[in-house]
Amino acid sequence: MRSNISKRRRADQFTKWGFLILSSLSVVVLLTLVSSIFGLGLPYLDWDFITSLPSRFAEKSGILTALVGSFYLVILTIIIALPLGIGTAVYLQEFGKNKKLINIIQVLILNLAGVPSIVYGIFGLAIFVRVFGFGKSLIAAAFTMAILVLPLIIVSTQEALKTVPKSLKEASLALGTSHLQTTLKITLVYAFPNILTGLILAVARILGETAPLLMVGAYAYVNFLPNELTDTFSALPVQIYSWTTKPQEEFKAIAATAIIVLLILQLSLNGIAIIIRSKLQRRYEE
């Protein structure tokens, strides 16, 4: 018995130190990557870079069209995907009675979550660009990205709905409210802070995806801001990809600067959403 206990302790220590070393290596790689990006791109980061249009000359290039395009893309995608995702999750979790059908839908959703993003881009090109006739436009990209993040929103919303105490629902039903009223006014309200987590992840993925946008026609060089849903557009990941493929070192430097802006944008949005979620959680707990 003592020998077995000693072996288990050694195995426990070995596992603990192994995970610690692997975690440290990951942090070192991340810090090295981030420091190299900041070292290369930070000298070019100024207000003119953010407010200037792209140019064939690196010293005159900016990210205004890509930044505005990414902003419009996120807003449109969330407007399309959020109601569909939450509605699907509510049906599967609260109203679905056919267990076999629900299980089939659940498996399909989980499989869609693992599909490579380029496949969504091909689907968007075939359906939204060609069949629906949207062309290579902002609205086609928004529908494509909405389908891409839909499984993420559905799964995260379902998990959020599972955290609602059953006693809270039963108390609401005992007061004479209908199932629909309880779902809308109690279940969804209580689960909203956790639903916000899925929304944060969806926004981060929309901002960082490149392959689907290239398939549905995001341009690397757009010298005007989109005014309509059918206008051509650019996005930060596409602009970064375009600059990194150019042979001039100056373009690689401003690509690093655009990466810094993208990181700051993602961290800021995530931070704001986390603060809102924390405040809502504290309010509901009180």
Q: What pLDDT digit, counting tens, does each position of 146-198 carry?
A: 999 999 999 989 988 888 888 888 888 888 888 888 888 888 888 888 888 88
Q: Which residue has the higher pLDDT, 224 or 91?
A: 91
pLDDT band at 142 (very low <50, low <70, confident <90, very high): very high
Structure-block tokens of residue 12: 């426990």
pLDDT for 83: 92
| Helix count and strand count (H, E) for the chain | 12, 0
Do 195 and 233 sit in the same domain of this protein?
A: yes
pLDDT for 1: 60
C-alpha atoms less than 13 angstroms from C-alpha of 128 in its C-beta half-sphere: 25
Do 139 and 251 sit in the same domain of this protein?
A: yes
- pTM (whole model) above 0.95: no
Residue 112: closest CA among 157, 151, 149, 156: 151
Do 143 and 66 sit in the same domain of this protein?
A: yes
Do 226 and 208 sit in the same domain of this protein?
A: yes
- Tell me the pLDDT of the chain averaged across its residues: 85
Number of domains in the chain: 2
Proportion of the chain above pLDDT 70, given as a percent: 97
| Average pLDDT rounded to a whole number, residues 251-264 | 89
Structure-block tokens of residue 79: 């407007």
pLDDT for 148: 92
Do 39 and 73 sit in the same domain of this protein?
A: no
Domain range for 34: 2-43
| Average pLDDT rounded to a whole number, residues 229-246 | 86
Per DSSP, the three-state class of 168 is helix
pLDDT at residue 27 above 70? yes
Give the angle subtended at the CA of 41 by the CAs of 38 and 43, to the nearest 5°.
100
Candidate from 57-61, 91-95, 154-158 with smallest mean pLDDT: 57-61
Do 12 and 58 sit in the same domain of this protein?
A: no
Using one digit for the tens of pLDDT, what is the confidence trace for 100-122?
A: 888 888 888 888 888 888 899 99
State the alpha helices, DSSP H only, in 91-216. Answer: 99-113, 117-124, 138-162, 166-174, 179-182, 188-208, 211-215
Do 125 and 240 sit in the same domain of this protein?
A: yes
